[in-house]
Amino acid sequence: MLERRVVITGMGALTPVGNSVEEFWASLVAGKGGVGLITRFDASNHASKIAAELKGFDISNYIDPREARRMDPFVQYAVAAAKMAMESSGLQVTPENAARVGVLVGSGIGGVHTWETQHKTLLEKGPGRVSPFFVPMLIANMGSGQISIMFGAKGPNTTVVTACTTGTNAIGDAYEVIVRGDADAMIAGGAEAAICPLSCAGFCNAQAFSTRNDEPEKASRPFDEQRDGFVIGEGAGILVLEEMEHAKARGAKIHAEIIGYGMSGDAYHMTAPDPTGNGAARCIKAALDSAGIKPEDVSYINAHGTSTELNDKLETMAIKAVFGDYAYKVPVSSTKSMTGHLLGAAGAIEAIACVKALEEGIIPPTINYEFPDPNCDLDYVPNVARKADLEIAISNSFGFGGHNATIVLKKA
């Protein structure tokens, strides 16, 4: 059997710095941040009052608003980004190919907005007033389910929930579905809509959030010595993956190729990463081995780079462990400095950032980098985008529960 290669033919993005791939990418290149004070709810009694919210999103631009009322916001974001991705790919799902087109879209938290609002209804108005759509609105697989229904995609239809690693796992798992021959195309990515009082209070009390409330635009500062926590974001990233010959046969534009995928588990702690960085290092090495490349072949690393003390230090350690002396030569940047942390959608929008970096020959910067940290001493592309001849990029994601994932992307 000939090796089945997997390419990216479509992308859709909803992010705090743009509601399309083009706007998202232009903001990254310009070093434009999307972090501000929370407007979704009254956060005056929260320790952290900062978030990276979607701006100007209108679901009626994508689907019938009556249908949208039966979807949690994370599902709305997923279907909107999927519509963008499918339109950009030109892929048509027909009765003839429907069983060969699948969906794999995840969410780290799922419908927490629906949980919160319907629980309030239960307490204030009684069980008879809880929506009959309560469960199908909130379950994490409903992003995949609704996208499958929207396009009539009848191939493998599943989801992944691995906290902040979700988006990368979803793309990597979809890649493997195509490689093993179970589908010719997959709609894959992640979506998240967790900026609400309950989830924000939980993260605050876990001391995970930045509390730089007086300077919200500078709160997300990966690898900077004065970082004090991550900033929650929301949105979705969806990619259309296809078997290469399938894409070529229909004349699709190929944006990049996925050539490797690695995973590992820390087996250490509920929320903290392995303090040796070993889990992350094994994950990155597994991805490079999967791609059949050497560390020196990598042109750019899109870091997980959350702006938390431990993550940034340990990701730096992991990169050094895998790349050796070359770690100091390969550019590393965290686009979370601009978008905030989209949790289960982070890996998906960061994969799109890598694709655009390869296409355009531009590395997006790590903004808000002002005070070097001796524990984080790599080239983080500080503050200003950089032109570069890029051939291969990797994207890292690490999540609560000790989940680690890395994908390897190659210029088309």
- What are the residue numbers of the active site? 164, 304, 341
End-to-end CA distance of the chain: 23
Task: Specify which residues 188 forms β-bridges with.
Answer: 104, 239
Cβ(302)–Cβ(350) below 8 Å: yes
> Helix, strand or coil for residue 64?
coil
Distance from C-alpha of 91 to C-alpha of 98, rounded to nearest angstrom: 11
406: Cα separation from own chain's centroid: 12
Helix (H) or strand (E) holding 143: helix 142-151
> Helix, strand or coil for residue 379?
coil
Which residues are CB-contacts of 405 (< 8 A; sequence separation ≥ 6)? 162, 165, 168, 169, 172, 261, 262, 263, 283, 347, 396, 397, 398
Output 358-361 pairs: Cβ under 8 A, ≥24 positions apart: 358/256, 358/300, 358/390, 358/391, 358/393, 358/409, 358/410, 358/411, 358/412, 359/255, 359/256, 359/411, 359/412, 360/25, 360/29, 361/387, 361/388, 361/389, 361/390
Residue type, 119: H
Distance from C-alpha of 291 to C-alpha of 71, rounded to nearest angstrom: 38
**Nearest one of 7, 16, 6, 8 to 346, comparing CA atoms:** 16
Instruction: Tell whether the torsion through CA atoms of 291, 293, 297 and 300 is positive or negative.
Output: positive
**How far from 314 is each of 204, 229, 309, CA to CA, in Å?**
22, 14, 9
Burial class (CB in 10 A: 0-12, 13-18, 19+), 96: exposed
Helix axes 112-125, 197-205, angle to 10 degrees: 110
Residue type, 183: A
